[in-house]
Structure 1
Amino acid sequence: MRIFNGFDELKAAVGTEVGVSDWIEITQERINKFADATCDEQWIHVDQERARAEMPGGKTIAHGLLSLSMAPMFIREVMGLKGLKNTLNYGADRIRYLAPVPSGSRLRGRVGIAEAEEVPPNGLRVSYRLVIEIDGGQRPACVAELIALHYR
């Protein structure tokens, strides 16, 4: 884990990769819970029997938003910022889902800092570049630019 000792250190890291998280398994149970929470119970996510018969690879696939929802965990795992009061999710840009995530796959996040700009009062708006990789995959599951507001 990389620890930043304030906004200046974070701003100095613009254009660099911060780190890569550990792998996390995307189980069918996790997919089902996400489907329940979001009311997105499309068969490609939850119907294992139909997926065996009709899906390439014979498995259900995770929701793209499930992969993206793991972003805060990936970022917290690879970095810390000292002296914060709080952090707010400011949004996301340029989100692309490049490969399906079959149930049982493992994902990890590759985190970089794309931009950092001080904002009043006493804040720093940071754009994080996130690449969510699939273990053994040729293409990432997702690439996104996530924006956070950090306040000290």
Structure 2
Amino acid sequence: MPALVIGSFEEFEKYIGQSLGTSEYFTITQKQINLFADATHDHQWIHIDPEKAKSQGAFGNTIAHGYLTLSIVPHLWDQIVDVRNLKMMINYGIESLRFANPVLVDSEVRLVAKLKSVVNLRGTVKAEVEVKLEIKDQRKPAFSGVLIFLYHFND
């Protein structure tokens, strides 16, 4: 259960410039990588062929698709913040996304989030959240960027 519960624009506003928290670690498995490859039709050997990745790849093993690591953000975000009192939430965009470090199979990753800004646009709350996906025991994150969410709160 997330430590932080937010139910309005005013509650969001209190956290501008502050850390929102960190998710639990999540393990990226070969099964997840293979399922993602099937779902996206991206069957590049560096992701799905462990033997070739070990013998010919630059990383000594298969790596997760960058977009797979991005796709687990909703799961990890829900561990950080519980946004309540909502009519609807929309993933609005991503700015300054950089994939900085490959995620090897069986790596553990976690999301770290900081509230960059929040603006009330005539009842729609636009939240910009600086995130990075940390890889356990690695100095550089898998990715960093700014996620933009639109929240429509109940009255």
- Tell me whether the two structures share a fold, i.e. TM-score over 0.5: yes
Partner of 1:85: 87
Query: 5+ residue gaps in structure 2?
Result: none
Q: Distance in 1 between matches of 2:130 and 2:75?
A: 14
Q: Which runs of 4+ in 1 moved over 3 A?
A: none
Partner of 1:104: 106
Q: Shift of residue 57 of structure 1?
A: 4.1
The one-letter amino acid paired with 1:148 is F
Q: What RMSD over aligned residues (CA atoms) do the two structures have, in Å?
A: 1.0
Q: Distance in 2 between matches of 1:64 and 1:82?
A: 30
Partner of 1:26: 28
Query: 5+ residue gaps in structure 1?
Result: none
Residue identity (%) = 33
> Residue 125 in 1 paired to residue 126 in 2?
yes
Indicate the SS of the match to 2:86: coil
Residues paired across the two proteins, number:
151
Q: Shift of residue 81 of structure 1?
A: 2.0
Does structure 2 retain, via aligned residues, the 8 Å contact 1:71–1:130? no
Q: Distance in 2 between matches of 1:35 and 1:57?
A: 19
